[in-house]
Every structure is written in structure tokens, then in C-alpha cells.
Amino acid sequence: MIISKNISLKEFTTIKIGGKAKKIFFPENISDINDLVDVVKKPKTLVLGKGSNIAFKDNGYNDDIISFKHFDRKGLHILNKKYIDVTAGISCSRLAKYCNKLLIPGFEFLHGIPGTIGGALAMNAGAFNQEIWNHVHSVTFVNKKGMLLSLPKKRFVTSYRKVEKSDVMMFVQANLIINKKIKFDANLLNSYSEKRIKTQPINQNSSGCIFRNPTKGYSASLLIDKLNIKSKRIGGVYISTKHCNYFINDGTGTCNDLENLIRYVKNRVKKEFNISLEKEICIY
């Protein structure tokens, strides 16, 4: 297991914002996870996947972090022709491409989601009207006492971008259902990919969507768009002109810039539409 100290958190978030981490642990297998029991039990220990949907304060994070960057990179298999056995450190895009290559339908929506399977499970990530927990059969996770447990999907309550996981410290593996009733569409993955390229700021320093969609009738991006504040900038962070629920760090942005821009947009939406936007990004 690799352990790094006093390392910049900018390298571990897709928006490239944050001070230094006091200590980051990089488990490579279940044995390493078991060695982290004492770290897991600490109330302020954080778990990182690819670092999307998260930013850190400018003064850094003074408690322990567990990163899945190097965790079981070969952990992707077909199980009994019924399930996809995938570990938490595998990226969403890699899983989508793997399934596409094997002509397995249903997982194309994961292509382009800038995170790992562990992170996707933790927040019920989704796109194109699909969510990952719709495909889950069972999961293996570490609870907050450091115990490794496996439970079926029915033991979890999920909703839009949320999973009730009060006893879950980190997901380490999932069995995803291969739905043989869905017809494989060889063009679907590329179609989703092209749509993302046209509508989202690909290959820029972004965390993904900043705000959750408040209701089925209104998307956060629609509300922000109606304010006519595209390209609004505070310091080194600005609203994307391609998708206004994405905030971009030009390389000089700070967490203070990001939080001020979030606050500005929330206040404007509340004033104009009397709707309170809820952050999707987590800031520590």
C-alpha cells in the first residue's frame, strides 16, 4: 500500500482545487483495506475515487484520506453470465467500454461520467435518465467499524443522486445485473459520447454538475440559463458557456472562488424563482 503525506489535493480532484492533504492512503487490494480499519474508524476520514464531484478548501485537509486510485485495476469480470463483477476503483467509462465490447447492453450511460464505480454507487450517479443503482444486484462495502460486508440491493434505499448509507464507509465491489431483455445497440455508446461532447465542457477542469436538479419540472441548468449569467466569473472559476451547471477552473481558481460563485448563483436563483438549489458537489 502506498502512503503519501503533504501532497497537493489538486491532483486528486477533476476541478483541480484544494490545498494539501495531511496523509493519503492508496490501498491496492482487500488486504490493504483490512489494514486500514483504524483509519476507517476515524470520523473525519474521507474516501476518494477519481475526484469528480468534490473540491477541497484552500488550506487543505488535515485528516486522513483513502484513495481508490490504485485499487484492484483488474477487478472487472463476468460472473455466471448473469452479473458484472466490478471493483470500486474501476472507472465508469472503462466499465461502459468493457460492456460495449462484449455486446452487453444497459451500461452505455456510464460512458463519460468522470468517476469510479465506488463513487457512482455512493451518490447513485446517472445520466440519460438512468442511474447505476437500477442495475445493482448486490454490493460489498466497508462499514464505519471497519467490517467488510456484502448485502443485496434491497437493503439500500436509493433516490435521485442519493443513497441512504449511514453505516457505509466505502463501497469496494458490486455485482451488476446483465439484463438480457434489453436489445444491444451498437451505436448507443457513441451516440451518448457525441451528445456529451456537444453539450458538456469535456476536458476542462470541472467537477461535473454543481447543483442537483430541484424538481422534475426544472433542471438547475435551465434555471441558471434563464438568469443570463453564462460566463460569470469569480477569480479563476467561471460558469461554462456550454453547460451552465458546470463551473470551470481556468487553472488559477481557488476553493474560495468556487464557493463564492456557488453562493452567487444560489442567491440569484432564489431571488428570481424562489427555488433553493442544493449542491451536488461536496466541499471539504
Cell of 112: 463519460
Cell of 18: 484544494
Cell of 255: 476553493
CATH dotted code for 2-67: 3.30.43.10
pLDDT of res. 54:
95
**132 contact partners, CB below 8 Å, separation of at least 6:** 110, 117, 120, 121, 124, 125, 126, 176
pLDDT of res. 169:
93
User: Domain spans of the chain?
Assistant: 2-67, 76-177, 203-283
CATH dotted code for 76-177: 3.30.465.10
For 132, the 3-state DSSP assignment is helix
Given the residues 28, 94, 161, 233, the one annotated as active site: 161
Given the residues 92, 99, 209, 244, the one annotated as active site: 209
Q: What percent of the chain has pLDDT over 70?
A: 100
Q: What is the pLDDT of residues 62-87, one digit of tens each?
A: 999 999 999 988 889 999 999 999 99
Given the residues 94, 196, 233, 280, the one annotated as active site: 280
Query: Residue 146 region, left (φ>0) first, then alpha (ψ -120 to 50), else beta?
Result: left
From CA 218, how far away is CA 275, in angstroms rounded?
Answer: 10
User: Does 259 participate in catalysis according to the annotation?
Assistant: no
pLDDT of res. 203:
87
Q: Tell me the average confidence (pLDDT) per consecutive run of 10 residues in the chain, 284 residues long.
A: 95 96 95 94 93 95 95 90 95 95 95 90 90 96 93 92 87 96 92 90 92 84 93 96 96 98 97 94 95
Q: What is the largest CA-CA distance in the chain?
A: 55
Contact 218, 197 (CB under 8 A): no
- CATH topology for 203-283 is 3.90.78
Which parts of the chain are beta strand (E)?
A: 2-8, 20-26, 46-48, 54-55, 61-67, 76-79, 83-87, 126-127, 130-131, 136-143, 148-152, 158-159, 162-163, 168-177, 233-234, 237-239, 247-249, 282-283
Q: What is the pLDDT of residues 214-242, one digit of tens each?
A: 876 789 999 999 999 988 999 999 999 99
Q: What single letter denotes the amino acid at residue 173?
A: Q
pLDDT of res. 48:
94
User: Does 161 participate in catalysis according to the annotation?
Assistant: yes
User: Does 92 participate in catalysis according to the annotation?
Assistant: no
